[in-house]
Structure formats: structure tokens, C-alpha cells
Amino acid sequence: MSQTRPTGMPPGMDEVARLTRAGRLAEATGLIQRLLRGEGATDPAAAPAAAPGPTVPDPTVLEGEFVRLDSAPGSQARSDTQDPARSAGKMAGSRSGMGARTGLGETLRGLAARLRPTGLRGGGTGAPRPPAEPLPDGASFTTASHSGAAGTRAYKLYVPANRGDGLRPLVVMLHGCTQSPDDFAAGTRMNAFAERHGVYVAYPEQPASANAQRCWNWFKPEDQRHGQGEPDLLAGITRRIIQDHPIDPNRVYIAGLSAGGAAAAIMGEAYPDLYAAVGVHSGLPAGAAHDLPSALAVMRQGDRGPMGKAGTGRAGTGQPTPTIIFHGDRDTTVHPRNGDQVAARAVAAAAGVGTEVQHGEVPGRRSYSRTLHTDPSGRTLCELWAIHGAGHAWAGGSPTGSYTDPQGPDATAEMMRFFLEHQLRPASA
């Protein structure tokens, strides 16, 4: 028996309500955005399956980023303001004719706001680009691009005014889903720290043509290997900057958030002779997934089975790539167990690893547990920061960027410190 739309409800609102009640919040949000653009509503369940391709959304956007609609423990039945679907139905149903058309935009925008992530600044499928901050005299933040067998990627490069003489370090930063280089730079404040230490910073950009949510495709086998796909493009960007600028090839580092963190972990294993250290924030271990279903599973619960063969370390040294990891222990988007597994893989190729756990709390901020893995000489191979009470966001970041947690310990400062403690070869070499 067919269902009819409630009297006065604008076209599309009943479908928004249905998707919301079914817990399909990503689809509901997408439909709201289409309605705001004046496009018709479609039933995702009735749409033909999309052919496999590079625009498959990364599951780090599909899972865990949206408001939970269930009531808080011990609360009464939710009110209309707690239930966007019921509220949308009442608001739309109270209008008719031109009045409903006039109020549709306001209704949809209000509902979209309720479906955005909680506790984080950011969300949606666009790439936020906050206003540019003033640069120090002599510094620059410009856009370039690199092409390879797998395509073309744009990137932004921060050149510090504090360059001094001689070769300088380089940090490559991989943004998370829906982010842009400008947004990621603003949220992490990496350029400010780079200026302080005289470091170049590159921000490769994932376009919507490669992934609908602008996520790095960390869960695709073709994007997990040396010399192929996105790893080949990212390594190409890194090498081009080394060639075109006064960069010390022994002090090149790579870091990322979420899908970008997973991609950074892949780069550390695929190119151990290119990167002196890796930073993984709220990410996943290399090779944790091989398709979308396995990616969703590992995001929800971590990999409960064998981790598989880890990287064998740098050629000729037997040493793994030093890695620093940050993960909130309340992360419902990427299970915290993934941070533990990144650490396990980071030290798997080393012998005689010692472990020390430290506990701390930055005044007025979150507490944390910091696990240090060291080799027999006392050199730190891996640091794992478990941030207590934190979700899926860059610790200590600025609210001017998306997906940041200003209450966390300063991940940017600690990453920069860790990076500058490591290099590929001794300075004398």
C-alpha cells in the first residue's frame, strides 16, 4: 500500500524524515543539501548501484560523525527539538502552498544544523576554507601541483620567513575528510610552529574527483603500495619540493588526521627511505582494510585478527620509521584500538624494544597517557598518546579549523618536537 505525504509537507521532507528515523543520517544530510539547491528528492534505496570508482566516499565521513538521535540515559521520551525528523514534519506540515515553499529553506537549514557533528567544528561534504591569516614578512603560502601516472594533485606550500642559511626540514600534512589545505593549516596551526623552527610545510589536496568526500583512499589496495596510486603522487610531491627548494632530504616528515593519518601510516611503510618520521592522528594502521566493508569494520572495532606483516623498516638499517600517534579514547569514528595497532606495526621490525608509560595533564586541558617505545640504545621509536575523554579531532587545535579539540594536549607542538628529534642518517653522513 503506497504512503502519502502529510498535507502541506514540501516535497522531499517526508524522505528526510524517513531517512533520519532509519538512522541513515549521512543520506538525510545529503538530501537536505540537494533540496536547498532546488534539486528533487530521490530514494537512495531505489537508485542504481554506482559502479566502483574513485568517488566512493571514505567511511570516515559515513560513520560516527553525526549527532546521535537517541535520548540521553535516564531522560524522558525525546521532544520535537531532540528529534529532527519529528520537528521537520511538524514545521513543514504547518505550512501550505506558497507559505510552505517560503519556509522550506529555513526548515532545511535548521535541520541540517541539527545533523552536524557535536563537539567538533566542521562537517558536511564541502571543503572549508577559512580566511587566510596574515603571513610574516618574507613568508609565503602558495599553491602548486604535481602530475604522475595516477593523476594530478594540487598542494599548498608554506615557506617560512625564518629560513636562515642551509637546508631546512619539510613536513607533509595530509588533511582529513571534507577538509582543505587551508582549513587543515588553520586547525593544526602547523604553519606557526613551522615559522618558529624554520620548517617548510606542504599540504597536498585530495579533490572530489578522487573521492566524493575529499578523503585519501587509504582502504583501497591500489592506494596502499609503493609506486602506485596516491602513495606515488604524494611521494612525487615530496620529491619535487626537495628538488625545487633548499630541503634537507634527511629531515622530511609526513603526518595526517583520520583518513590522512591512515594515508601517512601507509607512506611511512611504503617509503621508509623518504620520510624520517611519521605522525598519525586518529588514523588507522597501513593495510587495515582492503575495501569499503572491511574499512567500516576496522573503523568500528579495530582489527581483532592478526595485523598482517608490518613494514620491514629502512633498507639496510633494520629500523622502523619512527612514529608518533595521537588518538582520543572516546573516538566513536575510528576506534581507539586502531591507535594501538599503528604503534604495534611501528615497532614490529625492531628488536629489544622497551616500553614506558607516562601519565600527564596539561593544566586546564585533558589528561593523557603517553607510551614510549625505545630501542636498546634509548632512542624513541614510537610515541602513543591516548587522550582521555577526547573524540575524533586534532588535539590542541584551533577552533578556526574543522575537527579540532582545543582542550587536548598540543599535538602539533609534540609532533614537531618528535620530528626534529629524528633524521634518516646522522648529520656526519
- The whole-number pLDDT of residue 364 equals 85
- The whole-number pLDDT of residue 71 equals 25
- The whole-number pLDDT of residue 362 equals 81
- The whole-number pLDDT of residue 109 equals 47
Residue among 259, 126, 249 at smallest CA distance from 204: 259
Rounded distance between C-alpha atoms, residue 248 and residue 169, angstroms: 6
The alpha carbon torsion through 364, 366, 367, 369 (nearest 10 deg) reads -140
CATH 3.40.50.1820 fits 140-420, yes or no: yes
- The whole-number pLDDT of residue 424 equals 92
Q: Which residues of the chain have pLDDT under 70?
A: 1-13, 16-17, 19-126, 304-319, 426-429
- The whole-number pLDDT of residue 351 equals 84
By CB atoms closer than 10 A (0-12, 13-18, 19+), residue 429 is: exposed
Specify the pairing of strand 380-387 against strand 367-374: antiparallel
- The whole-number pLDDT of residue 103 equals 46
Specify the pairing of strand 404-405 against strand 394-395: parallel
Model confidence, pTM: 0.72
Residue among 234, 220, 48 at smallest CA distance from 148: 234
Residues carrying CATH 3.40.50.1820, the chain: 140-420
- Cα distances from 263 to residues 56, 290, 333, in angstroms, run 16, 13, 16
- The whole-number pLDDT of residue 30 equals 63
Rounded distance between C-alpha atoms, residue 279 and residue 197, angstroms: 17
- The whole-number pLDDT of residue 35 equals 65
Specify the pairing of strand 247-257 against strand 168-174: parallel
- The whole-number pLDDT of residue 406 equals 95
- The whole-number pLDDT of residue 115 equals 38
- The whole-number pLDDT of residue 10 equals 52
Rounded distance between C-alpha atoms, residue 143 and residue 393, angstroms: 26
In degrees, to the nearest 5, what angle opens at C-alpha 252 toward C-alphas 129 and 359? 80
